[in-house]
Amino acid sequence: MAKATKKQALGRGLSALLKDPENDIQSVSDKNADQVIGNVVELDVDSIEVNPFQPRSNFNDETLKELASSIRELGIIQPITVRKLDFNKFQLVSGERRFRASKLVGLKTIPAYIRIANDQESLEMALVENIQRQDLDPIEIALSYQRLIDEIQVTQEKLSDRVGKKRSTITNYMRLLKLHPIIQTGMRDGFVTMGHGRALINIEKKKDQINIYEKVVSDGLSVRETERLVKTYKDAKSGTVSTKKQDVQKEVPNFISKGLDALKKRLSTQVDISTSQSGKGKIVIPFHSKEEFQRLRKLLTGD
């Protein structure tokens, strides 16, 4: 406990140093720079601005509130990283979720690692840092790779070394940007996975991509089923996409067919059933709003 108190006191001391106009540190060669740069400093939340280079654009409100609750109870476990812009003025490099959650809690200060970097270095740090995160969606990662290549002007080979990923992995992500924007949005919202997206990339015409995508979502097709549907499309000489469900779904056994209509009637909604050769299957019950989900839940659970 004594060590933690000493560390926090040190952070506050460095914070006071940064607020002294006579110690305005602008480069690593300035006086006292070694005490600040690379160290954890308690910074005023109001002195930090968000990073315009932040590749992440989606912040889930619910998970942000959960993080805020954790910070309220335990504090900031991992400091954010900022770069110094001007006297007592900083910009986020990484840790925007922690920064946002801290503001939700009402914290006045936040622990931060301080860096000195120009715009290009800041962009690269932010992009590389965020690519390593586990909670970015595939499109956010693809866009981050694209920005690094376009704005830092590196090849995929050099990018592979910088982010520690295989070139084939980078290529697979970037190919997702060839998908129709509606499909990209569907992937970001969780309607389809990266596996679905990689299958749909093989369809060149955007209109046909959308036709198949809509079928994948409405029928709840797996990645394997989507791959078969795409293969059927590519093998067809006419190049048209069939929208008949039987083209991608095996014949449903009689015992399922007899109960399907009753299930649809009971739930007053569309119900889709698919089966495999092993006899296993799944039931997909789509809903389009919170209210509709609550209605279905009550019907199914009696709650």
Distance CA 135, CA 116 (A): 27
Name 185's bridge partners: none
Q: Cα 85–146–212 angle (5° rounding)?
A: 135
Distance CA 74, CA 69 (A): 9
Nearest Cα neighbor of 50 from 89, 4, 108 is 89
Q: Which residues 6+ apart lie within 8 Å of 44 measured at CB? A: 15, 88, 108, 109
The answer to whether residue 96 is catalytic is yes
* Strand locations in 164-225 (E): none
At 67, the amino acid letter reads: L
Residue of 22, 96, 157, 251 marked catalytic: 96
- Backbone phi and psi for residue 43, each to the nearest 5 degrees, phi listed first: -110, 145
Distances (CA, A) of 184 to 140, 168, 225, 303: 10, 20, 19, 36
Q: Residues 245, 274: contact at Cβ < 8 Å?
A: no
At 157, the amino acid letter reads: E
Question: Mind telling me the catalytic residues?
Answer: 96
